[in-house]
């Protein structure tokens, strides 16, 4: 790794936009807070009713506005409160990931995780892990000039 990238990773904190579905992963986030599990302050959480509400336009806009990574979370497969919303999420996710990869972004910049309402600890762990991954990658190429 080049030296200046190391420098960046010391001073620089990644910003990650996280979409949480109302019924599972958002409750998981709550759980992580109540349980006081350690997690970095890198996430900007956006609550949606179901993970399938997340449209590629939301994901792309997040990147274009300066997110270093985007994470979509929802209920475990089979548990979606709208029957099969998260299966559609999975189809879209695969497409977005290939597209962003072809565009030149690292795969890790778009993530998908199923987190249930009771998995507060898992939530915190995922946040820690993803933050670390993105910190290693450095700022995203889509970040506009002048945005930290």
Partner 1 sequence: MQVKNRENVYSSICPGCGLACGLYIREMVSGTGETSVSVDFRKSSPVNAGKLCRFGLKLPVYYTEPQAHTEPQASMVRGQKSELKAAISAASEALKTAPAESLAFFSVGNTTNEEQKAFSALAGAFGAGVETGMGIYSSLPAKMHSALFQGMSLEGLEKAKQVFLFVDPYSQYPLLLRRVIRAKENGAKVVCIGPRHLPVADEQFCLKPEEYEKALSPSRDSVLIADIHPYSDPAHIKAVLDLAQASGAKPFFLRPFANSAGTALLSAHTKQRTLDKLFEDINSGKIKTLFCLESDLLELAPDREAALQALSKLDTLIVQTSGQGEFSGLADILIASEPFYRKHGTVLNAEGRLLSVGGNSTSGFDALSGLAAAFGKQLDFESARKEVFEVIGLKEADEFAFRKPAESFPVTAEVETPCSKHETGQESCSVSNSEVSNSESCPEKSCPECSSASLVYSLSPFMWHGVEDCSAFVELNLSMVRKLGLVKGGNVKIRASGKTVDMKFRISDIENGYLLSPLRLPVSGIPGAEVELSR
Partner 2 sequence: MSELKVAADIKVGDRLLGWAASEEVRARGASGGLVTAVLASALETGLVERVLILKKVSEFEAYPVFTSDVKEVLESAGSMHSVPVNLARYLKPETCSGKIALPAKPCDARAVVERAKRNALSPEDTYVIGLNCGGTMHPEKVRRMLETVYRLGPEEIAGEEIVKGKLVFFTKDGKEHAVPIDDLEADGLGRRDSCRYCQVKIPTNADLACGNWGVSGDLAGRGTFVEVMTEKGAELLRNAVSAGFAEVMQADEKSISVREKVNKVMLGMSEKRKAEVFSTIENGEERFEYFRKELENCIHCGACKAVCPVCTCGEDSKCTAYSSLADSYKMSLFHMVRFLHLSDSCIGCGQCEDVCPAEIPLTRLYQRFAVPVQKEYRYLPGMSDRTPPFFALKPEDNEDNEGGGCSCR
Q: Which residues bind ligand FES (CB under 6 A)?
A: 21, 23-24, 50-52, 74-75, 80-82, 85-86
Q: Nearest 5 degrees, angle CA 147-CA 112-CA 135?
A: 40
* Per-position x/- string for 48-67, each x denoting binding to partner 1 as judged by CB under 8 A, each - no binding: -----------------x--
Output 65 or 87, the one with its CB closest to partner 1: 65
Cα–chain-centroid distance for residue 10? 21
Instruction: Give the one residue of 2, 38, 102, 146 binding partner 1; rule: CB under 8 A.
Output: 146
Query: Residue 2, interface with partner 1 (CB under 8 A)?
Result: no
CB 120 within 8 A of CB 35: yes
Bridge partner residues of 69 (DSSP):
16
Query: Residue 145, interface with partner 1 (CB under 8 A)?
Result: yes
Rg (CA), the chain: 15
H-helix or E-strand containing 73?
strand 69-74
Binding footprint of partner 2 on the chain (CB under 8 A):
55-57, 60-61, 64, 84, 87-88, 90-92, 94-96, 98-99, 101-106, 141-145
Q: How far is the CB of 147 from partner 1 (least distance, A)?
A: 9
Q: How far is the CB of 32 from partner 2 (least distance, A)?
A: 28
The tokens for 128 are 């820690």
Q: How far is the CB of 57 from ligand FES (least distance, A)?
A: 18
* C-alpha span between 95 and 110 (Å, rounded): 11
């Amino acid at each position: 790794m080049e030296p200046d990238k190391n420098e960046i990773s010391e001073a620089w904190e990644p910003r990650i936009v996280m979409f949480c579905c109302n019924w599972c992963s958002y409750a998981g986030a709550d759980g992580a807070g109540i349980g006081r599990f350690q997690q970095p302050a890198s996430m900007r959480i956006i609550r949606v009713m179901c993970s399938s509400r997340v449209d590629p336009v939301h994901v792309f806009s997040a990147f274009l506005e300066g997110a270093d990574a985007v994470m979509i979370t929802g209920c475990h497969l089979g548990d979606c409160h709208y029957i099969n919303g998260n299966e559609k999420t999975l189809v879209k996710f695969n497409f977005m990931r290939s597209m962003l990869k072809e565009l030149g972004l690292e795969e890790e910049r778009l993530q998908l995780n199923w987190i249930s309402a009771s998995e507060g600890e898992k939530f915190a762990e995922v946040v820690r892990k993803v933050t670390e991954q993105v910190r290693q990658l450095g700022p995203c190429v889509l970040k506009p000039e002048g945005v930290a």
